[in-house]
Structure 1
């Protein structure tokens, strides 16, 4: 990430994230069509009966209802939201912008998802490098995002890019982390008759390097 300026990961609001996320928000941040697209990605990439890490989790994980997972661990910032999430078997409260290393042993999880949150990380490469450590070799991560965000908490570089730029940026994060392979960018925006409908939905998928 040496080609990005030093200001790339600054935010309009640099107050502690715990303060911003103190009050739970029991709302969804993308519309139903985009949520369905996330769920379909998870259906395709997250293994049934696997151990799943829901990174930057909240009160809903968008996992397919019909798929059973051995374990779903949610790591997020609001304890009340995590406690309300019916898919989680365990919850961890942690601010990844102050503590980017994950509190898990190596090769703990079979797969991971990060839904509409990657734009808030101030050190995404360190977080994703450590995520590669805690996944089993070959384990997938699905990083999904739209064009919505809390603008004061999204990093500056995110604001400067369009949808294609966001896809390229997240790919660059995984490449810079150095322990991901098979990295692909996907546009899963809902369409009707070939035209986008509602919120767009994009994803970058990679697999932990053996």
Structure 2
């Protein structure tokens, strides 16, 4: 899939900071989809790892460590658009307020994290390959990068190409973001929808940071 700049136009091209100025302390997928997201993270993210929650909000949907089978993390760093939302997130150990569409450079060191997640937000990135390349830079070789998406969105802020595609198209698009960096292997998409008839659909594109320096 060729990525044209026109794909990343939006209905609302005003400053994203204005749109996200007011906190939205709501979840954007239903409870079964949230549970499926947590199960995915429990399965794929490394125990005691340092995790980057990119495009974070007031909930990360990570395992909470409340059961014997849950994993724990040494760090969960959040980067998002609204400080109130980030302050309300009980799983974050630290956070940064940053608009990736204005500044895609992540404020972290090379190979700082053991895993990265983007949860139901990838549709808002206007420079996704640049951001994904930055994710690769801050991940250790072998670390997983998980992009979770559904069919929910703010239509005025979602990029045009996302709105023109179905679920299968979304998967191909996100996989293209990974491949265009040249820095991930084992790129694939998993259907984690808990019940296609009664709950929100849920998909996860996953890539593993390769051993090549950015």
- Preserved CA contact (<8 Å) 1:189 1:200: yes
- State the Cα distance separating 1:5 from its structure 2 match: 3.2
Gaps of 5+ in 2: 66-70
Q: 1:4 deviation in Å?
A: 3.1
Question: Once the two structures are superposed, what CA deviation does each residue of 1:34-66 show, in whole Å capped at 9, x if it has no partner?
Answer: 111111110011111100000000000000112
1:5 paired to 2:22: no
Residue pair 1:190, 1:196 contacting (<8 A) in 2 also: no
Q: 2:153 aligns with which of 149, 167, 173?
A: 149
Q: How far apart are residue 159 of structure 1 and its match? A: 0.5
Alignment pair present for 1:165 and 2:169 = yes
Q: Does 1:140 align with 2:144?
A: yes
Is the contact between residue 53 and residue 111 of structure 1 (CA under 8 Å) also seen in structure 2?
Answer: yes
Task: Identify the residue that residue 29 of structure 1 maps to in structure 2.
Answer: 28
Which residue of structure 1 lines up, in the alignment, with residue 134 of structure 2?
A: 130
SS of the counterpart of 2:73? Answer: coil
Which position in structure 2 is the counterpart of 1:203? Answer: 204
Report the 3-state secondary structure (helix = DSSP H, G, I; strand = E; otherwise coil) of the residue aligned with 2:8: coil
Q: In structure 2, what is the Cα distance between the partners aligned to 1:207 and 1:95?
A: 25
* Counterpart-to-counterpart distance in 2, 1:170 and 1:162: 12
The TM-score with structure 1 as length reference comes to 0.96
1:54 matched residue in structure 2? 53
How many Å separate the matches in 2 of 1:42 and 1:197? 22
TM-score, length of structure 2 as denominator length: 0.94
2:31 & 2:87 partners in 1: Cα distance?
23
Distance 1:152 1:20 in 2: 10
SS class of match (1:196): coil
Could you tell me how far apart the structure 2 residues matched to 1:20 and 1:181 are?
A: 35
What is the match of residue 40 of structure 1?
A: 39
Paired residues, number: 206
CA–CA distance in 2 between the matches of 1:197 and 1:51?
A: 34
How far apart, CA to CA, are the structure 1 residues paired with 2:38 and 2:116? 13
Matched, 1:90 2:94: yes
Cα distance in structure 2, aligned partners of 1:58 and 1:4: 28
Instruction: Report the Cα distance in structure 1 between the residues aligned to 2:4 and 2:137, rounded to whole angstroms.
Output: 27
User: In 2, are the aligned partners of 1:8 and 1:155 still within 8 Å (CA)?
Assistant: yes
